[in-house]
A and B are shown apart, each in its own frame.
Chain A
């Protein structure tokens, strides 16, 4: 593969910084963003709060114990997703090859952009500047010969960092780097490697391939390549990466409930989320899967085929209701979710009846409005009460793509 230049842009304490930007009173104080639910956790802590040990995933009591002066701010997911989209739009000005990695991270391949925008470092600086000008937020940028190295580079100097790892420096950078610093090596995998006496990337790179293969199978080979700083995966949009096979959403309810009316309102909301996403990507559901989690975390799913492929919210909602009606709830429900197996609609079956066609047109019109003004701007009266944000936004949220996203 010809030499590439990849940038990884990572927003600094994304949610917390947005809140501090919105409310100047928060700027000099330790801030932790929490979900809207009753049993929520911290999704992002400001750098100030992090100094006290406040981390993502902690509950409120732990955080308050570590940092009594911490200010909790409830998440405003629509603002975060909107900001994420704006940042992506800035990146699009520098290269068409962009891969949103999460709500606050993205890769951009600038290999072909240097003649237009200058050296990789110049491009990185321009991006950081544009993001700060347009959103008021700080970001850290890593530059590397591939995604793995770019991601490592962006994590090496935070906040407001800019680190360049040149092709020739890869080996020396990795030599003494603990294996868990590499994206893709989690705590569990690192633990297994440590148990084998492998602590640094240098050691991992020197480990005979046969040993790694016998311990980790296919992953073993990839681990060795990663430790050598080799990563050939392209910067690809979500659509290019995967052919979507299913679309789903789930929601942890603000409080456990067995009230069918409440649950039905959530089902409609979830149906609209799943269907609008399917519509946006030209997908139609062939099978509907309902997930229910009880208060004791017992989780089960029920599914049924959809009689004809559809992405009509009403049709999917009615089928979800039928599944729901067939379940005898034994406990209060904690989480509810629906997912659809989908196929791409190359050919679209038209409806015979004017009334059905009008509904298709109506959905199209709704989608156009919601595309511009945010999801659920135009929606069903039934779910108005539950409108507004619930829960916590998932770190896997991406501004584009039809991926299976959970609201947790």
Chain B
């Protein structure tokens, strides 16, 4: 195999796959990237067996072939090359030679035959989607995904569709974010779970504004395609908890507050909550909300803010972090928090929730 490639194009592609290649040394081949010639261009593949990414880069191919080489080292080398063009050739026993200007590197590769096969993606299973909608849906739910590796069934984004609406649900067992949109984003009626790391890669691709985006779900995997870049992620094989059951239906008390005002107050008051658990007490009375926190070693803080509230006085405590993250992700001017009592979950929504399709359920802390 032998080809020349534009350095900057190559760097862009190599950079994108760095997040996927396996850092731990469990299977050496997974630290490598597969480079394969493909009718006058090269395909570049990387995987950690959960996520597969395939990219394509124009290049002038002199001799066809395929090889795998350490992704990290290749990236570092190419990035430091002096010229705008890089020549790569493969000799005996997968020895890879990288040349640019007067610099020359020889690194040992591994046979392309060892590399896991990229899952077959049927082009017609993919639907063209609006990248901004998917981006918004991910951003308003990603913070609630559980990071507890022992609870694998909630380590991801639950994606489901009924009729013309697609829904993403995330939870960590203490709070739950739901966003529902009238959109073409495909999903299964039964619902699937997309792993967090894979969605992070999809989200990165969505960041690249240009191009047309396609998305599709099969039984085992989800695929995202933008021009020549394809990401395929293996779905989490597990059962997402019955989220509908935890959405309260009888929360009859609510207060309306300006989103940024509430957000900033919470950030201030929670400074004095204990370090790990940011507990903040909400004391509600007629059109008044008092936020307070205390830490036995340091001191206490309170802040009063005017809200629209016309029910019985009530005290409830929340982990401020959970509310701050949700308020941060929202973009509405006013939010409403629906409550029942101090031990039942609250529901945070934009005041105009129909349009945004967003709802955030949060379990209180016991006072």
Please name the residue on chain A nearest to B273 by beta carbon: A347
Chain A contacts for B246, CB-based, 8 A: 352-354
Stretch in B47-55, B144-152, B182-190 touching the partner? B144-152
- Taking a contact as CB atoms under 8 Å apart, the answer to whether B150 and A315 are in contact is yes
For the complex formed, measure the closest distance between the CB of B143 and the CB atoms of chain A, giving whole angstroms: 13
Tell me if A354 and B245 are in contact (CB < 8 A): yes
In the bound complex, how far is the Cα of B174 from the Cα of A84, in angstroms? 41
From A315, A348, A350, A351, residue with most partner B Cβ within 10 Å: A350
Instruction: Contacts A321-B150, A348-B366, A352-B246 known; list 18 others, CB within 8 Å.
Output: A307-B148, A308-B172, A308-B174, A309-B277, A318-B150, A322-B149, A347-B365, A347-B366, A348-B365, A349-B365, A349-B366, A350-B343, A351-B173, A352-B171, A352-B174, A352-B361, A352-B363, A353-B246
In the complex, what distance in Å separates the CA atom of A356 from the CA atom of B154? Answer: 13
- Cross-chain contact A308 with B241 (CB below 8 angstroms): no
The residues of B that contact A347 with a CB separation of less than 8 Å are 277, 279, 317, 365-367
Of the residues B171, B245, B274, contact of A346 by C-beta under 8 Å: B274
**Nearest CB on B from A77, distance (A):** 31
A interface residues with partner B (beta carbon < 8 Å): 286, 307-309, 315, 318-319, 321-322, 343, 345-356
What separation, in Å, do the CA atoms of A352 and B247 have in the docked complex? Answer: 9
A-B contact pairs, 11 of them (CB 8 A): A307-B148, A307-B172, A309-B277, A343-B277, A347-B277, A347-B366, A349-B277, A350-B343, A352-B175, A353-B246, A354-B245
CB-defined interface of B316-345 with A at 8 Å, one 1/0 digit per residue? 010100000000000000000000000101
Give the Cβ gap from B144 to chain A, nearest Cβ, in Å.
Answer: 10
The reply to whether A319 and B150 contact each other, CB–CB distance below 8 Å, is yes
B147/A307 in contact, CB under 8 A:
yes
CA distance A40 to B364 in the complex (A): 50
Closest-CB distance, A406 to chain B (whole angstroms): 26
Chain B: how many interface residues by the 8 Å CB criterion? Answer: 29
For the complex formed, measure the closest distance between the CB of A261 and the CB atoms of chain B, giving whole angstroms: 19
Residues of B within 8 A of A (CB): 146-150, 171-176, 241, 245-246, 274, 276-277, 279, 296, 317, 319, 343, 345, 361, 363-367
A291 to B281, CA, bound (A): 38
* B174 in complex: contacting residue of A343, A345, A346, A351, CB < 8 Å: A351
**Minimum distance in angstroms from A320 CB to a CB of chain B:** 10
B274, B319, B367 pick with most chain A CB within 10 angstroms = B274
CB proximity of A367 to chain B, nearest CB, Å: 17
A167 to chain B, nearest CB (A): 38
Docked complex Cα distance between A356 and B242 (Å)? 13
A355 to B246 CA separation, bound complex (whole angstroms): 11
Cβ contacts under 8 Å, A286 to chain B: 276
Cβ–Cβ < 8 Å partners of A345 in chain B: 277
For residue B316, give the distance in angstroms from its CB to the closest CB of chain A: 11
Q: Are A349 and B363 in contact (CB under 8 A)?
A: yes
Which residues from A are CB-within-8-Å of B345?
352
Q: Which residue of A lies closest to B295 (CB)?
A: A346
Of all chain B residues, the one with the shortest Cβ separation from A345 is B277
Nearest residue (CB) in B for A357 is: B363
CA distance A286 to B276 in the complex (A): 8
Contact present for B279 and A322 (CB under 8 Å): no
Q: Cβ of B274: which chain A residues have Cβ within 8 Å of it? A: 343, 346
A351-B279 contact in complex given A307-B147, A308-B148, A322-B149, C-beta closer than 8 Å: no
| A355 and B365 contacting across the interface, CB-CB below 8 Å | no
- Tell me, in angstroms, the Cα distance from A354 to B148 when the chains sit together: 18
Q: What chain A residues lie within 8 Å of B319 (beta carbons)?
A: 349
CA A395 to CA B246, docked complex, whole Å = 49
Contact between chains at A307 and B146 (CB < 8 Å): yes
Contacts of B366 in A (CB 8 A): 347-350
